[in-house]
């Protein structure tokens, strides 16, 4: 398994903006699009189709986690948000989803990066870090 791209987005987010932020995040982490093995987010974003579209762009699977599962990742988050916890029940989406999908030995190689109503983060398992 390579890197997992974690995505959080507001309801008004656009796929074009997700692509720009994801590609910027990859460059910042020193990764190539081929290094992405999955895209992950919170399960409430499944219906928007944006995360699935981003996963199709990278030709990888999309994984969705409930807020309760993402909340378990809080000790490993670099940017936990109490305000987000009050709104949706977890302290982070992008970082938490990336970590949850990448596994228990994963670390963030790109902490939460913000765009227009979008956040992304990248995690890699310990065995696959560059």
Residue 76 DSSP SS3: helix
pLDDT at 1 (0 to 100): 45
Residue 109 DSSP SS3: strand
- The pTM (predicted TM-score) of the whole model is 0.92
Contact present, 17 and 117 (Cβ < 8 Å): yes
pLDDT at 127 (0 to 100): 52
Q: Which residues of the chain have pLDDT under 50?
A: 1, 128-130
**CATH code that applies to domain 3-124:** 3.30.420.180
* Structure confidence by residue, pLDDT tens digits, 29-52: 999 999 999 999 999 999 899 999
pLDDT at 3 (0 to 100): 95
Q: Are strands 36-42 and 3-9 parallel, antiparallel or unpaired?
A: parallel
78-87 long-range contacts, Cβ below 8 Å, gap at least 24?
78/108, 78/111, 78/112, 79/111, 79/112
Residue 65 DSSP SS3: strand
Q: Give domain limits for the chain.
A: 3-124
pLDDT at 130 (0 to 100): 44
């Amino acid at each position: 398994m390579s890197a997992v791209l974690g995505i959080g987005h507001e309801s008004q987010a656009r796929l074009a903006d997700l692509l720009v932020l994801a590609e910027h995040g990859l460059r910042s982490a020193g990764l190539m699009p081929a290094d992405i093995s999955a895209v992950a987010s919170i399960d409430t974003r499944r219906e928007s189709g944006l995360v699935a579209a981003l996963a199709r762009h990278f030709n990888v699977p999309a994984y969705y986690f409930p807020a309760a599962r993402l909340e378990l990742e809080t000790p490993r988050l670099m940017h936990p948000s109490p305000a987000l916890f009050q709104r949706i029940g977890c302290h982070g989406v992008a970082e938490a989803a990336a970590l949850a999908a990448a596994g228990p030995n994963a670390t963030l190689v790109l902490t939460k990066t913000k765009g227009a109503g979008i956040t992304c983060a990248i995690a890699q398992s310990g065995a696959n870090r560059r």
